[in-house]
Amino acid sequence: MIWYLLYPLRGTTEAPALPSSHPLYNAFARYGRYAARHVVATLLVSAAVATVLVYPIPFLFTSDFVNGASNLPRHVWTVAQPLLYNTAAEPDIIMRSIWVHASYMQALNTELLVSALNLQDDLLGITKNFSPASARLLVLSFAFTVLGLLSKNQSTFANVTLRHSIVFSGKRFEERRLLAADSLVITLLHLRDSPVGRRWESRILELPQKVGNTWNIYPPDGRAASSQLYEFQFRPISMQDIASLALAYGLTLVYFLTSLSKLRAVKSKVGLIVTVLAQIVFSIMSSFTVCAVFNVDLSRIPRAAYPLVVLAMSLEHIFRLINAVILTPLEDIVSNRIGQAFAETAPTAMFSTLQNVIILAGLSRLVSAGVSGFCVFAAIAIVFDFFYLSTFFLAVLSVDVRRMELGDALAKASMRHNRNKPDTGVSRRWWWDPVLQGRIAMSTRIAGTIVMVGFVLIAQWHFFSDEGSFRKLVRFYRDLDRDQGPGHSRSSLLDSVHQARSPTSWLRIQDHETAREVINIIKPSSYSYVARVYDPIVFVLKNSDRVPHSKEPALLPAVYDFVNHELVRFVVVVVVVIAALRLLTSFLLWEDENLNDQHEPDELPRLSVRSLARGHLMDVVLLTTSADGHVVSAGLDNTIRAWSIHGVGTSYVIAKGDESEMAVFPVVAMAIDDDSKWLALLSRPKRSACSRVSFWDLQSRAWGSSIQADNRRHRPVALLFDPSAPSHQPRALVVQQDGSLSELLSGEKKERQFVSMFPPHLTCARLLARKEGGPQPIILAVSRQGEVHMAARDQGVWRSRRLAIGGLGEPGAHSIQVVAPLNLFVVAAGDRAHLIDGKDGGVLQTLRTAAMLPRPLRCAYKRHPSSQLESMGLASFTLGYVEADSRDCILQTYMPPEDCDAIYLQTPCEAWSSNWCTWESARETRKRVADPGVWEMVSDGSAVGIRFSAPGGKGLQMSGLRNRYGKRVPEPDPLEGWQVWMESLPGCRPEESESRRLIKDGEQAGHLLVTEVGPKSRVGLNSVAFAFGDMIKLVVVGAQVIGGCECGGRDGTGD
């Protein structure tokens, strides 16, 4: 609601979305992932809290008055409230009373009871066999055998039941009995012309002279200081109330069922209904318990009204959370989807809950006492509702989503179907259609607050329904000043008495059954009566000690009674419920727990670093990796080492200086084939006039053949493996800067040259394995002049052709990236990137970018689940590059708009599906990373890198006369400024950015002094190896995943 009020300042009514880097967003995301991964633990926590708060309700709300329990709400509106002093109303009845005190909390003393009986006889005469009909006396709430009458709930002569709340004030219960009371109250109710009233009024003035030696009387003259009109209501719920509540519940039910029918990504809709109802019941019952413990009276409003407000508020948060889960990427694991959805909706739900609590707290200070108790109840209930939403409902929802992930696609399609389907005729659209379809959040963001405030106002109106509108308004704003009337000066006279309960509060707690009984006598056809209540005459036995020597219990007496008599049984019940629920959930969710152990490990740091050390004595200068976890490094110490990062990680030496079987130093280039079997080394041995290509078998750890190559003065543009070669006889392809192509087949002695295959001055060349008819190599190369040539081998003969690509005919540095699963080349130059089809070299799409450096260029994608070879759809596509002007890393992402599911990789000629869009309709977002250093992109589009940032706050002090006696500040550690960072895309990971020190304290001794990061290469799906001095830093995003296959075949990057 607050966002609607802030519309003039913000220009929108949408709740602000926290950025993914916000600490609160990260905290909610982390909790959501934990709750989804530990469903049983989350359910047990919510069940334990619910059991603790629900079990005591029968003991805290009861009609048995011997333990001081609270009153349950019924189907009536009840209130005892003072009217304004200038109210022109004739009272239906007169109420006079005397309060009899002994020492503090000693009103049950026998002597006091006898003395009180004598006072009653002095006022009314002998009351034995007194006839109320002849004297028109209605109620005389006292008898000598008062304790016996109270314990049996007996009645007076006027058939009014004697209760603790009538006879005593300031009661204390213990061991399920009335232990003590502070005051004995003798109350007389009579009509205006009753002779008993006149007798009381005349004789009360004589008592100060008659009993003044025994009692201290307040006021001393025995004359009531003032009187006040009070209204006592016992209004049964009317047909209008029933119709209004039925309409409200009916509309809520229709909204709930309609919204539920739109959700196809739900395994069991019946189960969801049961879950929602259970959450609401838990919230209501928990609030009842808390209100009873702190003695909040909830009996003034009909019980049917209590669930309505909680239901309206709860549905608001529930459907926002469900819709947020549906819109999360299908490719992500369930825990990440739940965490992301909860992080997006929980802040709004929390602030909405806080807003409503503040509104209810303010309203509780303005409305009548009965409505104030309802405000307290509603505030506590919506807080518990948020708690159960974050535990119970979140856990159940995660189980449901895990069991029906594919249904999310249908849900998205159903939410967007009507928007994209072409109109075949004129159809009228109503304003409530988007609301019911879940596309706008109007009903879920303000309806709950409107229902809450509206019901409070309606309830307040019920208690003042017999007054005019102006008087209602006056009463509404003067409610806080009721006690500032004539009775305020009298309270100072009783300060020394230290009454445990004031007369005003005693009137307001009268049981509504008493009001009903009195109404049935004086106005049988009515639901309320007005009484003129005179201030009581207080009698205090002389020589009484009225100073409290112990603090009165703050909580409801029934709470202490429950602790004393039901604690052991209560603990046993809680333990049994938790144990039974643990066994039940273990039986029902055993399959989910196994999947959770396999695919959703416990919470790990989003960014972790492993050091592959002690493999080299000098800096690593060459690095190559494979998809299944092999890392091969070559250092300035003439050592080539192979690392396996599986498990704890192992390594061995392939070649070391002159000790190697083959002369492979210095190494110019290295490459590993797609099967992670062969390593190719291109070297120019010092003793040889020609270069050589040597093959190393990574699986058998043995040398293969070595082929002589022509002497080359320049480093090759690319060293590639031919994917069509048999596994036992590898073939290397070498592309030179002059445009020549060479084949080096294992088992042959010399290379095969194909001259003039590409134009001279090549800057980049990449290979793509075409899968049709067996793997066939396709090489795309670009020159400094912007010429792009594609070469393919046909029946053993290489043929190349120039591709006509607009914007690439100008001189400059260009780069190529390969996206093998999509059969795609990405060629970048200047301020654009071209998507080239690997089949025919056609341009599928040209994407505009910022002016960028030629390298590095990286790309990643997410494939739509329903994609096929002939129709490829992308859920997202990301380009990563370095901006030429600022040198910042730019992550440029294309995603389908809200009304679409995927982007066509290639726009089809015929009419396309209504749920897919073209590149022109895609949403483009850019994320900037300042000072990226050396970086790489992993499979989900996240960028990770290592950079140096000068440590701040540790500058050296300036020299000079003023500082010559100062202490010399030690120089900062040169390794302290190295940082490892990660930046992910919206919707890819719950935490989208992280940065921390690369080298922790205590690890500096094992590192060389490093001025720049060496080569880097991606390992597996989410790991990157960086050469850092004489060691390799393996940076892992999330849990390490090794293997070339993508998760579900949907994610990937260009290599």
Percent of the chain topping pLDDT 70:
71
Residue 743 three-state SS: strand
Q: What local confidence, expressed as pLDDT, does residue 791 receive?
A: 92
Mean pLDDT of the chain: 76
Q: What local confidence, expressed as pLDDT, does residue 203 receive?
A: 87
Q: What local confidence, expressed as pLDDT, does residue 14 receive?
A: 63
Q: Which two tokens stand for residue 808?
A: 């690439």
CB 40 within 8 A of CB 362: no
Distance in angstroms (rounded) separating the CA atoms of residues 414 and 265 = 10
Distance in angstroms (rounded) separating the CA atoms of residues 840 and 528 = 90
In degrees, rounded to 5, the angle at the alpha carbon of residue 821 between the alpha carbons of residues 819 and 822 is: 70
Q: Residue 530 half-sphere exposure, CB side, CA atoms within 13 Å?
A: 15
Residue 642 predicted with pLDDT over 50: yes
Q: Of 264-273, 328-337, 506-515, which gets the smallest average pLDDT?
A: 506-515
Task: Identify the CA nearest to 691 among candidates 664, 718, 720, 717.
Answer: 664
* pLDDT single digits (tens) 324-368: 888 776 667 788 888 888 998 899 889 888 988 998 888 888 877
Average pLDDT of the residues in 800-814? 75
* Phi/psi at 496 (5° precision): -75, -15
Q: Report yes or no on whether pTM surpasses 0.85.
A: no
Distance in angstroms (rounded) separating the CA atoms of residues 857 and 880 = 6
Which of 52-61, 317-326, 874-883 has the highest average model confidence (pLDDT)? 874-883
- If residue 881 lies in a helix (H) or strand (E), which one and from where to where? strand 873-882
pLDDT band at 1017 (very low <50, low <70, confident <90, very high): very high
Distance in angstroms (rounded) separating the CA atoms of residues 870 and 909 = 12
Distance in angstroms (rounded) separating the CA atoms of residues 984 and 880 = 11
Residue 409 predicted with pLDDT over 90: no
Q: Is 307 left (phi over 0), alpha (psi -120 to 50) or beta?
A: alpha
Q: What local confidence, expressed as pLDDT, does residue 131 receive?
A: 42
CB 55 within 8 A of CB 286: no
Q: Which amino acid is at 715?
A: R
Q: What local confidence, expressed as pLDDT, does residue 516 receive?
A: 67
Q: Residue 33 half-sphere exposure, CB side, CA atoms within 13 Å?
A: 22
Q: Which two tokens stand for residue 592?
A: 């989910």
pLDDT band at 888 (very low <50, low <70, confident <90, very high): very high
Distance in angstroms (rounded) separating the CA atoms of residues 823 and 861 = 13
Write the CB contacts of 957 (distance below 8 Å, at least 6 apart in sequence).
963, 966, 968, 969
- If residue 382 lies in a helix (H) or strand (E), which one and from where to where? helix 369-388
Distance in angstroms (rounded) separating the CA atoms of residues 741 and 1022 = 33
Q: Can you name the residues that pair with 917 across neighbouring β-strands?
A: 903
Residue 263 predicted with pLDDT over 80: no
CB 923 within 8 A of CB 896: yes
Distance in angstroms (rounded) separating the CA atoms of residues 739 and 478 = 93
Residue 407 predicted with pLDDT over 50: no
Q: What local confidence, expressed as pLDDT, does residue 753 receive?
A: 75
Q: What local confidence, expressed as pLDDT, does residue 963 receive?
A: 52
User: CA 318 from chain center: how many Å?
Assistant: 11
CB 320 within 8 A of CB 313: no
Average pLDDT of the residues in 632-639? 92
Q: Classify residue 335 as exposed, middle or buried by CB count within 10 Å of its CB (0-12, 13-18, 19+).
A: buried
Residue 1051 predicted with pLDDT over 80: no
- CA distance readout (Å), 652 to 643, 672, 931: 7, 16, 36
Residue 479 predicted with pLDDT over 80: no
Task: Identify the CA nearest to 46 among candidates 390, 354, 399.
Answer: 390
Average pLDDT of the residues in 265-278? 77
Max intra-chain CA distance, the chain:
138
* pLDDT single digits (tens) 145-156: 444 444 444 455
Distance in angstroms (rounded) separating the CA atoms of residues 633 and 1027 = 8
273 vs 527, higher pLDDT: 273
566 vs 162, higher pLDDT: 566
Location of structure tokens 């992932």: 33
562 vs 356, higher pLDDT: 356
Task: Identify the CA nearest to 27 among candidates 394, 342, 395, 327.
Answer: 342
Residue 789 three-state SS: strand
Q: Is 1029 left (phi over 0), alpha (psi -120 to 50) or beta?
A: left
Q: What local confidence, expressed as pLDDT, does residue 147 receive?
A: 47
CB 764 within 8 A of CB 730: no
Q: Which two tokens stand for residue 632?
A: 């091969």
CB 696 within 8 A of CB 681: yes
Q: Which two tokens stand for residue 591?
A: 């399959």
Distance in angstroms (rounded) separating the CA atoms of residues 506 and 165 = 8
* pLDDT single digits (tens) 421-463: 444 443 444 444 544 444 444 444 555 666 667 666 766 665 5
Q: What local confidence, expressed as pLDDT, does residue 593 receive?
A: 52
Residue 594 predicted with pLDDT over 60: no
Sheet strands (E) in 293-359: none
Q: Of 133-147, 405-419, 541-555, 980-994, which gets the smallest average pLDDT?
A: 133-147
Write the CB contacts of 884 (distance below 8 Å, at least 6 apart in sequence).
850, 851, 852, 853
* Phi/psi at 171 (5° precision): -90, 155
Q: Which amino acid is at 150?
A: L
Q: What local confidence, expressed as pLDDT, does residue 498 receive?
A: 65
Spell out a b/e string for 785-822, using b for 16 or more CB atoms within 10 Å of the CB, else e.
ebbbbbbbbeeeebebeebebeebeeeeebbbbbbbbb
Q: Residue 596 half-sphere exposure, CB side, CA atoms within 13 Å?
A: 23
CB 167 within 8 A of CB 161: no
Sheet strands (E) in 673-794: 678-683, 691-697, 702-709, 718-721, 731-735, 741-745, 752-754, 762-770, 776-783, 788-794
- CA distance readout (Å), 257 to 250, 273, 309: 10, 9, 18
Task: Identify the CA nearest to 634 among candidates 601, 669, 659.
Answer: 669
pLDDT band at 226 (very low <50, low <70, confident <90, very high): confident
Q: What local confidence, expressed as pLDDT, does residue 462 receive?
A: 58
Residue 855 predicted with pLDDT over 70: yes
Distance in angstroms (rounded) separating the CA atoms of residues 217 and 865 = 88
Q: What is the DSSP letter of 852?
A: B
Q: Residue 356 half-sphere exposure, CB side, CA atoms within 13 Å?
A: 33
Distance in angstroms (rounded) separating the CA atoms of residues 502 and 491 = 9
- If residue 1016 lies in a helix (H) or strand (E), which one and from where to where? strand 1016-1019
Q: Is 935 left (phi over 0), alpha (psi -120 to 50) or beta?
A: beta
CB 515 within 8 A of CB 234: yes
- If residue 936 lies in a helix (H) or strand (E), which one and from where to where? strand 934-937
Nearest-Å Rg of the Cα atoms of the chain is 42
Q: Residue 856, preceding bond cis, omega within 30 degrees?
A: yes
